[in-house]
Amino acid sequence: MNVLFVEPSFPANQRQFVRALAGIGANVYGISEKPADWLDGETRACLKGFQQIESVTNEPALEWAVRKAQDHFWVDRLECTVEAHTLPVAHVRERCTIPGISSRTAYLCRDKVAMKEVLRSAGVPTAASDGVDTLEGARDFVRKHGFPVILKPRDAAGAAGTYRANDENELEKVARDCGLADGAPVAIEEFVEGHEGFYDTVTIKGQVAHEFISHYYPNVLEAMRTRWISPQIVSTNEVGHPRYNEVREMGRRVIEALGITTAATHMEWFFGPKGLKFSEIGCRPPGVGQWDSYCAGNDFDLYREWALAVCNYATGIQPSRRYSCGIVALRPEGDGRISHHDGAEDIFAKYADNIVGHHFPEPGTPTQGVEAGYMANAWMRVRHESFDRLRGILDEIGETIQTRVTN
């Protein structure tokens, strides 16, 4: 099995997919924007070959690299796991007649407006939404559906570039911030009140082979805008409980409607006064190292399971569901350079058996802004057999550890 893997060099967890593919016996060839010496020695050892190009989202360059490989050996798979790479890879995959996710599916998983039009037609409950490229178009939407509204790029990933407008004044400001005032096309949708979570899968030929459910505390927009909060992402070990039946059923309907065949998926949802509502889906794994939480919580290697799925249309073992597992982001008290981390020693002493991952930037490291994400500064990953007890531990960590800063 010969697999071309797009961009093994960045982000850092890309090496896990390379490792997993090589570990099941695939011949892995990297296509990257960076030179080979950007890779660590272990990752380089997993690759049978490597091709650097100008940009992996430059379709002519990517197609050139793929066809160059095809001149020398049969290419069984062309795979990627980064949101921005999925559509160009799908286009090149089709032009080079390599099996995998279609360009139609990749497009629908990237374009938020088209995605929701298809899913509404399939009976999936979604927020009202539309595509606009003028401020007046946004006002028309508001006249129909009211405030508050959410505006985001049509191909946004997660909370990137996402804004909320509560009234006309905020709408005008957001229009300037997101480029709508200058004619940039954006997706606009009604704000859905409720708790936010996500449903992740590995699918094989359109069927769910592995599934996981996680929760945001608090919801993403608030977490990504508020410095004092130590936000959490927590996966449950009770995926099979009846309380999640509606989420799991909706996830399967979305996968079928969008034509997702064999891939990783990441679907976000809200549950509130209007019931369960679909938010968006990506045809790729989640970010923030969430697969590492699934591995630690389920006593198995999800990266290997993904490799088996895309190469052999098979799985190895089932998740144990032994632990719930979550990450808590530990924000610096302000901007500047890291001085030290108060309270960390106490937490390690108390919860050493529960901690399965952590990162504390060294003194002198420049801080990153809140909007940079959950793993931008300090963080801890923790597991426990009880979801509620885990939430309590994560709360305690967020309240105890303080990342101090010098200017």
For the stretch 346-396, pLDDT in tens is 999 999 999 999 999 999 999 999 888 999 999 999 999 999 999 999 999
The rounded distance, in Å, linking the Cα atoms of 133 and 185 is 4
Write the DSSP string, 324-389: EEEEEEE-BSSSSEEEEEETHHHHHHHHTTTEEEEE-PPTTPBP--GGG-TTSSEEEEEEES-HHH
pLDDT at 153: 84
Alpha helices in 47-200 (DSSP H): 59-70, 86-95, 103-108, 112-121, 135-145, 168-178
Band of the pLDDT at 226, cuts 50, 70, 90? confident
Name beta bridge partners: 219: none
pLDDT at 181: 86
Band of the pLDDT at 218, cuts 50, 70, 90? very high
Rounded mean pLDDT, 44-56: 97
pLDDT at 159: 57
How many percent of the chain have pLDDT more than 70?
A: 99
Rounded mean pLDDT, 6-26: 95
pLDDT at 53: 98
Asked if pLDDT for residue 86 goes beyond 60, the answer is yes
Q: Average pLDDT of the chain?
A: 95
How many percent of the chain have pLDDT more than 90?
A: 88
Rounded mean pLDDT, 43-56: 97
Asked if pLDDT for residue 13 goes beyond 60, the answer is yes
Give the domains, in start order, of the chain with CATH numbers.
2-100 (3.40.50.20), 128-190 (3.30.1490.20), 195-406 (3.30.470.20)
pLDDT at 221: 87
The rounded distance, in Å, linking the Cα atoms of 130 and 178 is 16
pLDDT at 156: 63
The rounded distance, in Å, linking the Cα atoms of 282 and 286 is 8
Task: Indicate if the alpha-carbon torsion angle 77, 80, 81, 84 is positive or negative.
Answer: negative
Asked if pLDDT for residue 9 goes beyond 80, the answer is yes
pLDDT digits (tens, 9 = 90+) for 132-172: 999 999 999 999 999 999 998 876 655 557 889 999 999 99
Band of the pLDDT at 225, cuts 50, 70, 90? confident
pLDDT digits (tens, 9 = 90+) for 250-308: 999 999 999 999 999 999 999 999 999 999 999 999 999 999 999 999 999 999 999 99
Asked if pLDDT for residue 228 goes beyond 70, the answer is yes
**φ, ψ of residue 165 in degrees (nearest 5):** -120, 125
pTM for the model: 0.92
pLDDT at 178: 87
